[in-house]
């Protein structure tokens, strides 16, 4: 390379680096501007019994960051529950509506309180029917028996989904979506009018209140019905549209973790120390807390709204003295990864006593505590890939779509674990043997 061409190359590389920095700067500035605009909007909104104007500038700023990260509309898609912003059912419904293959969804309350309410109503109707004329008595009794049948169905559904005992609200969600092999152009143009063969239901269930995962559920206790509906819809959306939800959910969960770490709500005691207005969530209720020393914080004290809250000097010194820790692997939950690989090895017929030998055979550390994220991915691949290849070969021969087969056999759009791939392999093998080509 000549000196002239080398100089041109250096200049080009330098210009590219500068352009990249400018692009990142413009992106950051646009994000900052959007957060500021949302922060101002929040001041005029109301969350439950609390107006946005009653929130401290810091709290409004954190909610704005959350909305910007998740793409949520603060007016209709955000609730404040359990000391942090919460994406409600409107958020998931609106995002589902943007999916080309989404048709509609239904939600059914199946919790014990709802079941008991139906039985009480049925008894009232039966008692009432005894006092009516025969024709009216028959109509009322039919209505009562319908309610009893509906209550019995709730018991059966709870036995299927097995929510924790004492859950205040249990909601089953069904999403109806078009299979992947459906010609959506023919649907929208009206050429396909009978949708029966092209729609498939995907079901999921979630609950709120009482205990969740063996622990208390303060968010669910505060708004059981609203929370259960949102959780159930979110879980069902992940099953029905996993290809869309996977990266989307990961980005959203990163935002939630970041905001949860930063989102601070001052309690009444902290307000007395700080002498500023704040919000208390004690007792599960949202209320504005004032003290005699409380003063309205000027926006200028926070700069152009977006400035972070001023830390106490002692805390700041402690943070500066603390040695920085190496960042964890992004989006890597070791416990989840261990549970997944242990279940996969079991499905692959590898007993607990044979795990170490299997790991050594594949050049992996004998303890999963020493595995990296890449090691877990490789181990899963070693177990799943042979069955996956078998499934994909059968899919190609039969001229089917993997997502459609998965929806039909598993009730979800995408197989995740070895047991899922095994079930698909068994189903496709039956089709091949039966000559169902």
DSSP string, 373-427: HHHHHHHHHHHHHHHHHHHHHHHHHHT--HHHHHHHHHSSSS--SHHHHHHHHHH
Kindly state whether residues 228 and 351 are assigned to the same domain: no
Per the listing, tokens 């919460």 go with 86
Is residue 302 assigned to a domain? no
Pick the last residue of a domain from 198, 216, 236. 236
Kindly state whether residues 104 and 230 are assigned to the same domain: yes
Specify the pLDDT at position 3.
61
Is residue 267 assigned to a domain? no
Is residue 225 assigned to a domain? yes
Is residue 206 assigned to a domain? yes
Specify the pLDDT at position 280.
39
Specify the pLDDT at position 25.
66
Of 88, 81, 70, the closest CA to residue 279 belongs to 81
Cβ atoms of 363 and 369 closer than 8 Å: no
Of 109, 200, 119, the closest CA to residue 161 belongs to 109
Pick the last residue of a domain from 201, 216, 236. 236
Which tokens in the block code for residue 90? 């409107």
Look up the domain containing 344 and give its range: 334-433
Q: What is the pLDDT of residues 249-297, one digit of tens each?
A: 666 776 666 666 665 444 344 444 444 444 433 333 344 443 344 343 3
Kindly state whether residues 231 and 102 are assigned to the same domain: yes
pLDDT higher than 70, residue 342: yes
Which tokens in the block code for residue 85? 């912003």
C-alpha triplet 47, 48, 52: angle, nearest 5° = 30
pLDDT: which is higher, 245 or 398: 398
Is residue 277 assigned to a domain? no
Is residue 41 assigned to a domain? no
pLDDT higher than 70, residue 233: yes
Please count the structural domains in the chain: 2
Is residue 163 assigned to a domain? yes
Pick the last residue of a domain from 219, 236, 253. 236
pLDDT: which is higher, 275 or 347: 347
Kindly state whether residues 95 and 211 are assigned to the same domain: yes
Q: How many CB atoms sit inside 10 A of residue 35's CB? A: 21
Is residue 4 assigned to a domain? no
Q: What is the pLDDT of residues 179-225, one digit of tens each?
A: 999 999 999 999 999 999 999 999 999 999 887 666 778 888 888 99
Alpha helices in 215-241 (DSSP H): 218-222, 224-240
């Amino acid at each position: 390379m000549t000196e002239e061409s080398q100089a041109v190359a250096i200049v080009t590389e330098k210009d590219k680096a500068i352009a990249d920095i400018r692009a990142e700067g413009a992106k950051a500035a646009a994000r900052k501007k959007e957060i500021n605009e949302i922060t101002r909007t929040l001041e005029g909104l109301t969350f439950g019994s609390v107006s946005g104007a009653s929130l401290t500038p810091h709290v409004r700023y954190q909610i704005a960051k959350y909305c910007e990260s998740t793409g949520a509309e603060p007016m209709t898609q955000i609730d404040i529950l359990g000391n942090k912003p919460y994406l409600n059912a409107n958020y998931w419904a609106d995002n589902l509506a943007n999916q080309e293959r989404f048709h509609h969804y239904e939600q059914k309350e199946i919790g014990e309180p709802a079941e008991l309410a139906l039985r009480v109503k049925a008894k009232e109707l039966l008692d009432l029917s005894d006092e009516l004329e025969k024709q009216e008595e028959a109509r009322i009794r039919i209505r009562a028996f319908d309610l009893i049948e509906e209550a019995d169905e709730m018991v059966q559904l709870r036995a299927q989904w097995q929510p924790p005992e004492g859950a205040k609200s249990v909601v089953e969600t069904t999403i109806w979506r078009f299979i992947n092999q459906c010609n959506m152009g023919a649907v929208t143009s009206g050429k396909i009018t009978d949708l029966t063969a092209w729609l498939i239901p995907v079901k999921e269930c979630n609950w709120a209140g009482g205990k969740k995962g063996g622990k208390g559920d303060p968010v669910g206790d505060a708004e059981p019905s609203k929370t259960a509906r949102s959780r159930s819809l979110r879980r069902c959306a992940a099953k029905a549209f996993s290809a869309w939800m996977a990266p989307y959910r990961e980005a959203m969960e990163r935002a939630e973790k970041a905001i949860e770490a930063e989102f601070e709500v001052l309690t009444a005691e902290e307000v007395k120390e700080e002498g500023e207005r704040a919000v208390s969530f004690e007792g599960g209720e949202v209320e504005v807390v004032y003290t005699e020393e409380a003063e309205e914080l000027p926006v200028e004290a926070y700069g152009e709204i977006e400035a972070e809250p001023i830390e106490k000097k002692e805390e700041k010194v402690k943070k500066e003295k603390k040695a920085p820790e190496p960042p964890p692997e992004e989006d890597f939950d070791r416990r989840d990864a261990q549970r997944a690989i242990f279940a996969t090895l079991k499905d692959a017929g590898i007993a607990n006593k044979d795990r170490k030998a299997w790991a050594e055979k594949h050049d992996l550390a004998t303890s999963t505590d020493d595995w990296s994220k890449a090691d877990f991915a490789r181990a899963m691949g070693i177990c799943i890939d042979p069955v996956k290849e078998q499934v994909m070969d059968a899919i190609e021969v039969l001229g089917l779509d993997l997502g459609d087969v998965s929806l039909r056999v598993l009730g979800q759009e995408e197989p995740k674990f070895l047991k899922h791939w095994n079930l698909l392999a068994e189903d496709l093998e039956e089709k091949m043997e039966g000559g169902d080509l």
